[in-house]
Amino acid sequence: MAAAAAETASRRLGAAVRGLSGAWYGRHMAAAERAIRTRLPLVDLVLEVRDARVPASSAFESLRRRGPLEPDGRRFVVLNKADLADPSETEKWTAYMKKQRTCPCIAVNSHNRESIKELLNVVRSRIREIKHGERDCTGTVLLVGIPNVGKSAIVNAMHQIGRIGAADKGKLKHAIVSSHPGETRDISGYKVASHPNIYVLDTPGVLSPRFANDDSGPRLALTGAIKGSLLDEYDIAQFLLAVVNSREGYRSWENLNQAGDTSSSGNANTSRSHSKKRQYVSDHSQDFIVKAVRQVLFETISSFKGDLGKEDELRRLVDRQFISLQEAFKVSTESSTQQS
Ligand SMILES: Nc1nc2c(ncn2[C@@H]2O[C@H](COP(=O)(O)OP(=O)(O)OP(=O)(O)O)[C@@H](O)[C@H]2O)c(=O)[nH]1
């Protein structure tokens, strides 16, 4: 219950985040949107790729606001980057989509071979259904989504895994995969299967000029769909802290102190964190900055006595965390004074 109240408070704090101007929607996105729209009626299947960490905020709203996205309900939602998302949340999302009967949904990790094989199987069987079991037909799939959700990574993996014979002959193509949004500028086709022949069209990421929710902006900036520099970085950090403070995950950061560090661990409940100790041994993100940030956050949250379900209390904790982080990293407080 407390966590749910805190989540609501963090959402309200997110709603206060300013600076959502639509600056990411340029001429190239408008052109890509038009090009995608003209192809929609021509393809057999549409795979809408979303980021499994933010399935609602990463929905492909751009085309839906101008009419139905999929030809005759032939749409699949692919929740990519499932390796970075909370597995229980991903499970809830896939179950929710199934229950809504809006469209089928599959969670994948494009860096994982088995996961892509599963996606290929789903696509193959759906194309066979659409083509009434014809073996030598050709099926086309349009891969759409907002920027940086992993469309090109998915198409590369499907192309490589589905075309092992071509790989031997050095005939494979490569879509550009980048951690920066907006790298894909053109629509390109990749063969991913034979009997039936299936071609997947990779498309540029398109993001609506307006967000569906107030907190979509910071969520998309934090997951890399829009450049952080397009929003106010202070606002994004504020939103992230509100989310962290609203969840239980911080408790496991107490272990960081037992892994050879000298700072005190605070007074939080330790029962869950002990069981997660092993996880940190293989956590590649644990450079010293991440570790130091986690220590500061653990200490500030676990020593905070206020009610995190209340927006003003949550804000008080966030302000305190900014000061603690500035102290820990010996950052001048001048810039934050100018913000307020
Ligand atoms: N951890 C993880 N990273 C992924 C996954 N899929 C893609 N990525 C990473 O996400 C970033 C974006 O991937 P792209 O394939 O370029 O994304 P895109 O949707 O084609 O991007 P645009 O060109 O902006 O439309 C890259 O750094 C990928 O390595 C995944 O399943 N898991």
Whether 333 has a pLDDT exceeding 80, the answer reads no
Cβ neighbourhood burial of 287 (10 Å; 0-12, 13-18, 19+): exposed
Same domain, 186 and 46: yes
Say yes or no: 180 and 59 in one domain: yes
52: pLDDT strictly greater than 90 = yes
Q: Give yes or no: residues 47 and 184 share one domain.
A: yes
Say if residue 86 is in the same domain as residue 153.
yes
Ligand 1 lined by 80 (C-beta under 6 Å):
yes
Residue with the larger pLDDT of the pair 263 and 8:
8
Does 270 reside within a domain?
no
Residue 7 φ then ψ, to 5°? -60, -45
Q: What value does the mean pLDDT take over residues 144-170?
A: 86
If you average pLDDT over residues 144-152, what whole number do you get?
95
Q: Does a cis peptide bond (omega within 30 degrees of 0) precede residue 41? A: no
86 in any annotated domain:
yes
- Decide if 102 is inside a domain: yes
Average pLDDT over residues 74-96: 93
Give the pLDDT band (50/70/90) at residue 75. confident
Q: Is the CB of 112 under 6 A from ligand 1?
A: no
Whether residues 64 and 188 fall in one domain: yes
Amino acid at 253: W
**32 in the same domain as 18:** no
Lowest mean pLDDT among 240-244, 312-316, 336-340: 336-340
204 lines ligand 1 (CB under 6 A): yes
In 74-83, which positions are buried (b, 16+ CB within 10 angstroms) versus exposed (e)?
bbbbbbbbbe
Q: Give residue-wise pLDDT tens across range 295-318.
A: 999 999 999 998 888 888 999 999
Q: Given a cut of 60, is residue 260 above it in pLDDT?
A: no
Which of 161, 176, 202 is the last residue before a domain boundary?
Answer: 202
User: Who contacts 164 (Cβ-Cβ below 8 Å, separation ≥6)?
Assistant: none
Do 171 and 226 fall into the same domain?
Answer: no
**Probe ligand 1: pick from 29, 81, 83, 118, max atoms within 8 Å of CB?**
81
Q: Is pLDDT at 328 greater than 80 in this prediction?
A: yes
Looking at the structure, tell me whether residues 113 and 85 fall in a common domain: yes
- pTM of the shown model: 0.81
Token pair recorded at residue 225? 């769909």
Give the distance (Å) from ligand 1 centre to CA of residue 336: 33
Q: 192 lies in a domain? A: yes
Count: domains in the chain:
2
Confidence of residue 82 (pLDDT cuts 50, 70, 90): very high
Tell which one of 114, 152, 155 to mutate to probe ligand 1, the residue whose CB is within 8 A of the most ligand atoms: 152
Ligand 1 centre to CA of 235 (Å) is 25
Question: The tokens of 96 are what?
Answer: 């929710």
> Does the residue 268 lie in any domain?
no
30 in the same domain as 13: no
With respect to residue 264, please indicate whether it lies within any of the assigned structural domains: no
Are 8 and 157 contained in the same domain?
no
Q: Which tops the pLDDT comparison, 183 or 248?
A: 248
Strands 138-145 and 105-107: unpaired
Asked if residue 132 and residue 181 are part of one domain, the reply reads yes
Q: Is the ipTM of this structure higher than 0.90?
A: yes
Residues 252-281, buried b or exposed e (16+ Cβ, 10 A)? Answer: bbbbbbeeeeeeebbebeeeebeeeeeebe
Mean pLDDT value of segment 164-190? 78
**What are the Cα distances from residue 20, in Å, to 59, 86, 223, 288?**
17, 27, 16, 32
The finding on whether 107 has its CB within 6 A of some atom of ligand 1 is: no
Examine residue 194 and state whether it is found in any structural domain, yes or no.
yes
Q: CB–CB of 240/222 below 8 Å?
A: yes
The CB of 183 under 6 Å from ligand 1? The reply is yes
CA-CA distance, 232 to 228, in Å (whole number)?
Answer: 7
Shared domain check, 177 and 43: yes
Confidence of residue 146 (pLDDT cuts 50, 70, 90): very high
CATH of the domain at 96: 3.40.50.300
Question: In the prediction, which pLDDT does 63 show?
Answer: 63
Q: Is the pLDDT of residue 284 over 80?
A: no
More confident site: 79 or 26: 79
Range of the domain at 119: 26-202
Q: Give CA–CA dist 255/3, Å, rounded.
A: 22
- Residue set of the binding site for GTP: 80-83, 109-110, 205
Residue 212 in this model has a pLDDT that exceeds 80: no
Give domain status of residue 273, yes or no. no
At 166 the pLDDT is 63
Annotated binding site: 80-83, 109-110, 205
